[in-house]
Amino acid sequence: MSTAVAQAIDDFKSITSLNVQNATAVLERGLAALRAGQTVFDLRYVLTVDSVAVSVLLAWEKAAQDAGVRLELKNLPPALQSLTKLYGVCSLLFPTSITLEPGQSGAHNPLHEEFHPVVGQPENAKLGLGATPDAVPAAPHHPEHPSDQHH
């Protein structure tokens, strides 16, 4: 009896970043692993992410649901944990029994220590990049141009 499905088919060791530059390739790699029967994805080697990483995880989760299997994501880097919390998709990606906190993921990768998780959502998070309404530059006003003069 084979235990190939129970053990990792793809260990994702070569994926050290998950961002807009490689998202399509990583997405396809995960979908191929799911089609091959793999349901546990270990992301301990991912060191850098951007927001597209959350989209990839959600697409993997949808594909797993469509296939009638449960996807198990392990060892998410703190930056990716923070993004899933920030976007409010933890409940879509993880069962309620799993707590996403640094240091509780099992395998430790010291290179992840440079990332700090988001503790709370700042008031200005919806504006993006830390901008506040006062910090958004106004459009230049040139009263010498006839179309800009208000009567």
Please name every residue paired with 48 in a beta bridge, in sequence order, or none if there are none.
Answer: 17
0.75 exceeded by pTM: no
Is residue 105 a part of any domain in this protein?
Answer: yes
- The pLDDT confidence band at residue 95, using thresholds 50, 70 and 90, is low
Is residue 57 a part of any domain in this protein?
Answer: yes
Is residue 126 a part of any domain in this protein?
Answer: no
Check residue 100 and give its pLDDT: 55
Is residue 37 a part of any domain in this protein?
Answer: yes
| First vs last C-alpha separation in the chain | 85
Number of structural domains (the chain) is: 1
Q: How far is CA 18 from the centre of its chain?
A: 8
User: For residue 82, what are the domain limits?
Assistant: 17-120
Is residue 146 a part of any domain in this protein?
Answer: no
- The pLDDT confidence band at residue 18, using thresholds 50, 70 and 90, is very high
Check residue 117 and give its pLDDT: 47
Check residue 113 and give its pLDDT: 47
Of 114, 99, 98, nearest to 48 by C-alpha is 114
Is residue 3 a part of any domain in this protein?
Answer: no
Residue 71 scores a pLDDT above 90 = yes
At 63, which CATH number?
Answer: 3.30.750.24
